[in-house]
């Protein structure tokens, strides 16, 4: 196992100076839930940061939440390429010759890794994960081929979970519609005048 700092570059986010005419886009912690759900978040726009560590998000980057009880992790997708990460996120850029991005994101989301990250957080209200604690996280490094297989398995499990959630939502919606239809039918039948013999 190697520390994350040995297989990836970990960069702190930047302050967002929002302006209506700003050309730069910024991903915030709240955007990760939208991304993980497969939706395109409405990114903040503002002035491009003028600090050296401000790199734009590229394919293969992993975003890690710096604040909150849970440590949100999300693999970057095309909806956010070219955007910057805000102060409440870390941009993790894996060394592709050593670690598979999907494998790394999957490892960081494991309950055991989440527990380890939680133990390194500081503060009581909105706990913050220090950059150093994230960088010191030890990452297992099987061969890239094995990492790719594990990443594929994780993706298949995630896809199945999403399909099952969608199916559950659809069944609930159809059930509610059936009940609503029965109520409408009963109301229409009950309001018709009764014939007297």
Mean pLDDT value across residues 168-180: 89
Beta strands 24-27; 84-85: pairing state: parallel
Q: What is the DSSP letter of 115?
A: H
Mean pLDDT value across residues 152-178: 87
Is residue 138 pLDDT above 60, yes or no?
yes
Over the chain, what is the mean pLDDT?
90
Q: CATH second-level architecture of 2-141? A: Alpha-Beta Complex (3.90)
Owner of token pair 């990836």:
8
Q: Out of 29-33, 34-38, 121-125, 151-155, pick the least confident.
A: 121-125
End-to-end CA distance of the chain: give it in Å, rounded: 88
Q: Out of 10-24, 62-76, 139-153, pick the least confident.
A: 10-24
What residues form DSSP beta bridges with 14?
86
Domain ranges for the chain, please list them. Answer: 2-141, 142-190
Predicted local confidence at residue 191, as pLDDT = 60
Q: Where does residue 102 fall: left (phi above 0), alpha (psi -120 to 50 degrees), or beta otherwise?
A: alpha
Handedness of CA 91, 100, 81, 35 (dihedral sign): negative
Q: What digits encode the pLDDT tens for the residues 66-115? A: 998 889 999 999 999 999 999 999 999 999 999 999 999 999 999 999 99
Question: Please, how many CA atoms are within 13 Å of residue 191, restricted to the half-sphere of its CB?
Answer: 6
Higher pLDDT, 167 or 62: 62
What whole-number distance in Å separates Cα of residue 23 and Cα of residue 119? 38
């Amino acid at each position: 196992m190697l520390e994350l700092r040995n297989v990836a570059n970990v960069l702190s986010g930047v302050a967002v100076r929002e302006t209506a005419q700003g050309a730069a886009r910024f991903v915030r912690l709240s955007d990760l839930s939208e991304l993980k759900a497969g939706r395109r978040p409405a990114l903040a726009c503002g002035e491009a940061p003028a600090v050296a560590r401000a790199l734009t998000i590229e394919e293969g980057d992993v975003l890690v939440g710096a604040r909150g009880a849970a440590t949100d992790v999300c693999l970057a997708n095309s909806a956010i390429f070219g955007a910057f990460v805000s102060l409440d996120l870390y941009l993790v850029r894996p060394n592709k010759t050593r670690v598979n991005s999907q494998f790394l994101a999957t490892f960081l989301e494991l309950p055991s890794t989440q527990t380890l990250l939680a133990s390194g957080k500081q503060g009581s209200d909105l706990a913050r994960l220090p950059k150093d604690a994230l960088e010191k996280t030890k990452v297992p490094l099987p061969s890239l081929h094995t990492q790719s297989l594990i990443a594929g398995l994780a993706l298949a499990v995630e896809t199945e979970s999403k399909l099952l959630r969608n199916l559950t939502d659809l069944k609930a919606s159809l059930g509610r519609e059936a009940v609503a239809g029965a109520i409408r039918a009963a109301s229409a039948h009950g309001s018709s005048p009764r014939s007297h013999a």
